[in-house]
Amino acid sequence: MSQIELIEAPTTLSESLQNVVESHRVDAALHWLDNHPPHVIADELARMDAVEAGVAFRLLDKDLALAVFEELEPVDQQQILQGLRDQTFRELVEGMAPDDRARMLREAPAKVAKKVLAGLSPRDRRMTAALLGYPEGSVGRYMSPEVVAIPGTLSVADALRIVRVKGENAETVYTLPVVDSGRRLQGIVELRELVLTGPDTMVADLVVTEPAFVRATDSAEKAARLMRETNDINLPVVDSEDRLVGLLTIDDAVEVIEAADSEDVAKQAGSAPWEGHYMAAGVFQLARYRALWLMLLLVAATLTVSVTGFFETTLEQAAQLALFIPLLIGAGGNAGAQAATACVRAVAVGEVRGGDLFKVIWRECRVGLVLGGMLSVVGLVIGGLFVGPKVAVVVGITLVLICAWAATIGGTMPLLAKRLRIDPAVVSAPMVTTLVDATGLIIYFTTAKLVLGI
């Protein structure tokens, strides 16, 4: 009965659907659908191709269909919508929360979007259009516009009456923004406070003045991270004149943070950010998301060919140097990637700020020297095993220098990127690695020339 177990082994919807297709027997599929919660059904649908998912979806009864639909990612929602008859289509779209609807429409092809908007009541259409009017990535795109706001002049009993009347349509009633007659935000009061206090208390005595809040045009990621810091479950959103326009709820905030983190991880591995389900994506789709960066990095790697070419005579005079090329640039790349990842993360969560640039350089340079010193001991041993002591010394010295250099570059690039208003995650580990590869080779061959006297 534990939900967690259900997630582990729900591999039979697809099989039970075979019965529907092959022998028109729906009972196995219906039984499966009846016995799994909406998010597990949604997860199964996301793994299926469009046709199969469409068949399964049409087996759901109305309420469950909506619950499952809301659990799906926007891309999967569109796929389902395209296969539905008009009546079901309209019911689904009407049942969605305004912010979820806006998010789906944002990415839908124009044809679907038009059909969705046409199926809405004038009120819903207005609300959805308003959300879509906010810039991409802004809080306005993610907030819930249906909010129960209360005047600060009421008693608790009157405030609870307003909550009862208006609460049904609101996504949350746990955070109640307090507004003045011009709907300007004055503070917030928690439903908890209203319930725990006597009915005659005045709302004004319970209100938190100067609450954390954001503007609808602010970055959604910043707003979400602010909520994480303040541990609020809802954050009031105001327009440019401080009038309340919505609430950012914690589930949407977490989604924003997770999307931003996944994007950072993808970029740091040199892929374009990717929102779909891994198992549902086609081979060419996956390749497309990786191709651009891989190509750019390959072109950038031409530098390493030039550098090695430039030192060709050095290499001819001491052919054994070639043996350690992969090991040395590998070590440099790893040291650089460690530093880059640590700093991208620190910048993203706000631990490191623009003004810390020189502190970070100094810090990573010393960390790199410490690590390089340790590695050089191992390097000397490995060098001693494979080649003579002279080349081993070259390897040892190079490791110290390459680690210090790589950590400094890796730690600095994300901050420099931030200063130049480039996304720090784009200056990703593979980019640092490729840069360090080329410069590392210069360090290696120069050290070799000096030590070996060639």
Q: Considering beta carbons, is residue 341 or 447 the nearer one to a second copy?
A: 341
3-class secondary-structure state, position 236? strand
Which one of 391, 394, 437, 447 is in contact with a second copy (CB under 8 A)? 437
User: Which run of H or of E encompasses 214?
Assistant: strand 214-215
Q: Which one-letter DSSP state was computed for residue 323?
A: G
Scanning the structure block, which residue is given the tokens 């040199």?
A: 270
Residue 431 Cβ vs a second copy, minimum distance, rounded to whole Å? 10
Residues of span 200-219 touching a second copy by CB under 8 A:
210, 212-215, 218
Q: Does 314 bind a second copy (CB under 8 A)?
A: no
Which one of 34, 49, 63, 168 is in contact with a second copy (CB under 8 A)? 168
In the sheet with 185-190, reading across from the earlier edge strand, the strands are 150-151, 175-179, 185-190, 208-209
- Residue 141 tokens read as 């795109």
Which one of 28, 130, 259, 265 is in contact with a second copy (CB under 8 A)? 265
Which one of 21, 51, 118, 195 is in contact with a second copy (CB under 8 A)? 195
Q: Does 315 bind a second copy (CB under 8 A)?
A: yes
Task: Say how far apart CA 130 and CA 109 lie, in whole Å.
Answer: 19
Q: By CB under 8 A, which span of 13-21, 87-95, 105-113, 323-331 interacts with a second copy? A: 323-331
Q: By CB under 8 A, which span of 21-29, 101-109, 129-137, 253-261 interacts with a second copy? A: 253-261
What x/- string results for residues 52 through 81 when contact with a second copy is judged by CB under 8 A? -------------------x----------
Total number of residues that touch a second copy (CB under 8 A) = 124
Q: Where are the alpha helices (DSSP H) in 179-230?
A: 191-196, 203-206, 220-230
What is the crossing angle of helices 429-452 and 389-419, to 10°? 150
Contacts of 22 (CB under 8 A, 6+ apart): none
Q: Does 29 bind a second copy (CB under 8 A)?
A: no
Residue 452 Cβ vs a second copy, minimum distance, rounded to whole Å? 17
Contacts of 400 (CB under 8 A, 6+ apart): 369, 372, 373, 375, 376
Residues of span 225-244 touching a second copy by CB under 8 A:
226, 228-231, 233
Task: Say how far apart CA 435 and CA 425 lie, in whole Å.
Answer: 15
Q: Does 357 bind a second copy (CB under 8 A)?
A: no
Residues of span 73-132 touching a second copy by CB under 8 A:
none
Q: Does 150 bind a second copy (CB under 8 A)?
A: no
Q: By CB under 8 A, which span of 21-29, 49-57, 105-113, 284-292 interacts with a second copy? A: 284-292
Which one of 156, 163, 394, 413 is in contact with a second copy (CB under 8 A)? 163
Residue 454 Cβ vs a second copy, minimum distance, rounded to whole Å? 16
SS3 content of the chain, % helix, strand, coil (to 5): 70, 10, 20
The burial of 178, by beta-carbon neighbours within 10 Å (0-12 exposed, 13-18 middle, 19 or more buried), is given as: buried
CB atoms within 10 A of CB 18: 13
Q: By CB under 8 A, which span of 12-20, 48-56, 77-85, 303-311 interacts with a second copy? A: 303-311
Q: Considering beta carbons, is residue 84 or 416 the nearer one to a second copy?
A: 416
Residues forming a β-bridge with 85? none
